Amino acid sequence: MEIEYWWLLALPLFFALGWLAARIDIRQVVQESRALPRSYLSGLNFLLNEQPDKAIDAFVEAVRIDPQTVELHFALGSLFRRRGETDRAIRIHQLLVDREDISEDHRLQALGELGQDFLKAGLLDRAEAAFVRLRGTRANDVALRYLLEIYQQEKDWAKAIEVAEALPGHEGVIWHTEVANFHCELAASALANSRHDDAQVHLDRAFEVNRRCVRASLLLGDLLAAQGRDEEALEAWKRIENQDPNYLALVAERVMDACGRLGRVAQGHQLLRAWLAAHASLDLLDELFHWELEREGPKAAYEMVREELRRNPTLLGLDKLLEAAALNAPAEQRADIDLIKQLIHGHTRRVARYRCNTCGFKARQFHWRCPACGGWETYPPRRTEEFDLTP
């Protein structure tokens, strides 16, 4: 194969061009690094070494030297907010929003950060105003999610419904639990103020959004009972067994009251016993225990709890058994039983809490919305001990 002599001249030329390009890139990097304030590099070093206080001081100095560094302002504002210095974060992000020499993308980013600053500071009205300005922009979805959180904190359920229905996936099942509960909140408020027609409208809407909404069935029963329609109220509460039997304990007392008004106490008692046999529940057991204790006496309550304890042995059940046993026992034995009950009760207090399925938050009181993570219907009326016993 013949070698073209011009190749011998071209190869050194290519090497020379590559060397020259590398030198230009290196010079550009060196020039850019020299253009940065030394305090900026120090701030990055402090961040990498998990020293946020010193990083903030260095970034403040860098911003003073070069006020045009937009990204540095964002980093500094985020650091202030993370530390809880929301007033300083607000000043930085407000400054960026008001600047005329930044791009529209940076302005929208600054407005979103400003809204988060206000939210962290508890200034909900100002946070709302910031995120409302972001609606219809490229940050629309993010703004809607923050607005949804704001309206839930403010308990402005009508606005929460409007925002949730504007979120992506609202026509599917992504937000159906939340929207149904927003309507239930409005229905509960209307019911409390004897606005029965308004309550019915919101409950109908809740069922349209989520046919399996337990809370809507519970409130519908309350509405019907308030109108003197106890028979229909019982049917509404009975539907909860098919929706989610974990919530049956919430309507146990309501069922017995309605059956009492209808003169069918025995039928109501039989229904609750059937629910307990099919769906073990410590809260349902507690309701039945108190009913047996008041209506039938300590002996009947003792027998009922002992029967349930054989099927589902729990500390909380044992606590009720000892309470009934103390009432049945001779006077000379009550002191010993009370002593045992006190020892058991010390343990039952730890396992008698409700727990969120999502974040694990525990509390003594039942909530439709978890106080910790804000999830709806993630906080079933089941005690901690029941979770521990679930396979």
Q: DSSP states of 339-371 as a string?
A: HHHHHHHHHHHHHS-EE-TTT--EESS--SB-T
- Whether 162 and 142 map to the same domain: the answer is no
* In a domain? residue 8: no
Tokens 């190869």 -> residue: 11
Span between the terminal Cα atoms of the chain, in Å: 79
pLDDT at 345 (0 to 100):
64
- Whether 201 and 299 map to the same domain: the answer is no
- Whether 374 and 308 map to the same domain: the answer is no
Please give the model's pTM, rounded to 2 decimal places: 0.74
- Whether 174 and 130 map to the same domain: the answer is no
* In a domain? residue 326: yes
- Whether 221 and 240 map to the same domain: the answer is yes
Whether 333 has a pLDDT exceeding 60, the answer reads yes
Q: Do the Cβ atoms of 228 and 257 come closer than 8 Å? A: no
Exposure b/e, 118-139, CB count within 10 A at least 16 = b? bbbbebbebbbebbebbeeeeb
* In a domain? residue 51: no
Other beta carbons within 10 Å of 171: 9
* In a domain? residue 317: yes
pLDDT at 205 (0 to 100):
95
- Residue ending a domain, among 262, 288, 321, is 262
Tokens 């004897």 -> residue: 194
Mean pLDDT across the chain, nearest whole number? 78
Kindly indicate the confidence band of residue 47, based on its pLDDT and cuts at 50, 70 and 90: very low
Q: Residue 50 CA to chain centroid, in angstroms? A: 30
Instruction: Measure the CA–CA gap between 269 and 281, rounded to whole angstroms.
Output: 15
Kindly indicate the confidence band of residue 34, based on its pLDDT and cuts at 50, 70 and 90: very low
Tally the domains of the chain: 4
CATH code, domain carrying 80: 1.25.40.10
- Residue ending a domain, among 125, 154, 183, is 154
Q: What is the pLDDT of residues 273-327, one digit of tens each?
A: 899 888 877 788 888 888 888 887 888 887 888 887 778 777 676 777 777 777 7
- Whether 231 and 162 map to the same domain: the answer is yes
pLDDT at 99 (0 to 100):
76
* In a domain? residue 374: yes
pLDDT at 214 (0 to 100):
94
- Residue ending a domain, among 217, 233, 262, is 262
- Whether 114 and 139 map to the same domain: the answer is yes
* In a domain? residue 49: no
Amino acid in position 384: T
* In a domain? residue 12: no
- Whether 132 and 195 map to the same domain: the answer is no
Range of the domain at 209: 155-262
Q: What is the pLDDT of residues 136-163, one digit of tens each?
A: 889 898 999 999 999 999 999 999 999 9
- Whether 162 and 254 map to the same domain: the answer is yes
pLDDT at 143 (0 to 100):
92
Whether 331 has a pLDDT exceeding 90, the answer reads no
- Whether 324 and 361 map to the same domain: the answer is no
* In a domain? residue 17: no
- Whether 218 and 159 map to the same domain: the answer is yes
52-65 helix and 70-83 helix, angle to the nearest 10 degrees: 150
pLDDT at 27 (0 to 100):
43
Q: Which residue has the higher pLDDT, 70 or 131?
A: 131
- Whether 306 and 365 map to the same domain: the answer is no
* Cα–Cα distances in angstroms (integers) from residue 271 to residues 70, 134, 234, 238, 279, in the given order: 67, 54, 11, 9, 12
